[in-house]
């Protein structure tokens, strides 16, 4: 099982550069979002990367938020969808292992920069009483007569809770894949877990993640998905060696931004050896050790050599 606090802990808001806030996780020794901007990251790397402005023209959408956390990716998605089509019916499933994060994230300071209907959705999700592993929510917002949002948080190890969605054949047009980094939480970046998540991805549909890791991209490719890059919006003088904001994947789309020659070569280095978890039950140390053994036995180019060749420092 993934680490879950034995008792509720105090989540202290930490500012990011766009004025929004994130939390720091002692269990994973990472913040939940980029320090460059939690809110802007949710829009650029998830809501926009999954093409929600276009998809929102549909009468209804299904969304899957893997590692719901503070709910920012869900919030950015709902803002984007309802700005385009206020009548769009949204069904959301969120996977997480700690409901206290969502509850802390609806404090007035943190939730104020979202619109009223989005605030209502986030609050309903965070305040719902758990029933087993799930937190069902149905809400009516903006005085509309029909329910335009149905949400459910599945609390526990995502490797197990996603089985509930597979059994009911849930198909999402957009999947937001946002665990802690592969080094900190390798359990959720393996070929085997991606294979489970991909079973919930509609055709057509998109999965987006902030990670540009070669191992992550290799894992997505091994389950049969088409891979694209999320290009930088603009060069960042503070991070001149950055080359992408993340990765997007789809079963069928040909309109994804293709990986550059540099990124394709990255997949062939030792870093491109995917993480494995054959029984979907291993701990972080075992998964990382398995990858390291495979890297040591192979004859792939080192990642440091690849970086030097492409002038990445």
pLDDT at 104 over 90: yes
Angle at 92 between CA 7 and CA 26, to 5 degrees: 30
Instruction: Give the pLDDT of residue 246.
Output: 97
Q: What is the pLDDT of residues 248-295, one digit of tens each?
A: 999 998 899 999 999 999 999 999 999 999 999 999 999 999 999 999
- In this prediction, residue 36 carries a pLDDT of 86
51 has pLDDT over 60:
yes
Percent of the chain with pLDDT over 70: 89
Q: Does domain 18-260 have CATH number 3.40.47.10?
A: no
Radius of gyration of the chain (CA): 19
Query: Residue 99: its pLDDT value, please?
Result: 92
pLDDT value of position 238: 60
Residue closest to 151 by CA, chosen among 183, 118, 181: 118
- Reported as a single tens digit per residue, the pLDDT across 211-252 is 999 999 999 999 999 999 999 887 665 666 778 999 999 999
Residues whose CB falls within 8 Å of the CB of residue 34, separated by 6 or more in sequence, listed in order: 16, 41, 210
132 versus 94: the higher-pLDDT residue is 94
Q: Are residues 53 and 61 in contact, defined by beta-carbon separation less than 8 angstroms?
A: no
CA distance readout (Å), 95 to 13, 164, 243, 273: 22, 11, 29, 26
Strands (E), the chain: 14-15, 21-22, 24-25, 30-31, 60-66, 89-96, 134-139, 149-155, 172-177, 201-209, 226-230, 246-250
Q: What is the pLDDT of residue 265?
A: 97
| pLDDT, tens digit, 9 for 90 and up, residues 191-203 | 999 999 999 999 9
Contact 251, 265 (CB under 8 A): no
* Six token digits for residue 124: 């309903």
Contact (CB, 8 A) for 150 and 180: no
Alpha-carbon dihedral 310, 224, 150, 43, rounded to 10 degrees = 10
Residue 32 predicted with pLDDT over 70: yes
What are the φ and ψ backbone dihedral angles of 40, each rounded to 5 degrees? -65, -35
pLDDT computed for residue 237 by the predictor: 57
Residues in contact with 292: Cβ distance below 8 Å, sequence separation at least 6, in sequence order? none
What are the structure tokens assigned to 223, written together?
A: 């389950």
Q: What is the pLDDT of residues 4-26, one digit of tens each?
A: 443 345 899 999 999 999 999 99
Residue-wise burial string across 219-251, b where 16 or more C-beta atoms lie within 10 A, e elsewhere: bbbebebbbbbbeeeeeeeeeeeeebbbbbbbb
| Sequence spans of domains, the chain | 18-260
């Amino acid at each position: 099982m993934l680490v879950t606090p034995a008792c509720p802990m105090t989540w202290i808001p930490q500012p990011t550069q766009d004025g929004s806030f994130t939390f720091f996780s002692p269990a994973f020794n990472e913040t939940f979002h980029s320090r460059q901007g939690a809110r802007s990251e949710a829009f650029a790397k998830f809501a926009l990367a999954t093409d929600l402005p276009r998809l929102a023209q549909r009468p209804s959408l299904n969304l899957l938020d893997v590692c719901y956390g503070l709910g920012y990716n869900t919030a950015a998605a709902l803002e984007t969808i309802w700005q385009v089509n206020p009548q769009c019916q949204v069904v959301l499933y969120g996977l997480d292992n700690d409901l206290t994060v969502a509850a802390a994230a609806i404090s007035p300071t943190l939730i104020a920069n979202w619109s009223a209907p989005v605030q209502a959705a986030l609050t309903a999700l965070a305040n719902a009483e758990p029933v087993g592993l799930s937190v069902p929510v149905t809400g009516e917002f903006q005085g509309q007569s029909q329910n335009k949002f149905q949400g459910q948080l599945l609390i526990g190890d995502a490797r197990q809770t996603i089985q509930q969605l597979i059994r009911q054949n849930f198909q999402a047009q957009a999947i937001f894949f946002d665990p802690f980094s592969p080094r900190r939480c390798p359990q959720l970046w393996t070929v085997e877990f991606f294979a489970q998540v991909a079973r919930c991805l509609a055709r057509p549909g998109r999965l987006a993640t902030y990670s540009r890791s070669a191992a992550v991209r290799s894992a997505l490719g091994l389950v049969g998905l088409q891979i694209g890059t999320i290009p930088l919006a603009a060069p960042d003088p503070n991070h001149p060696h950055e080359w992408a904001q993340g990765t997007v994947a789809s079963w069928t789309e040909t309109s994804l931004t293709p990986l550059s020659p540099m990124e394709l070569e990255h997949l062939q280095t030792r870093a491109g050896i995917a993480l494995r978890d054959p029984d979907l039950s291993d701990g972080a140390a075992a998964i990382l050790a398995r990858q390291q053994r495979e890297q040591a036995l192979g004859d792939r180019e080192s990642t440091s050599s690849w970086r030097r060749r492409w002038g990445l420092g």
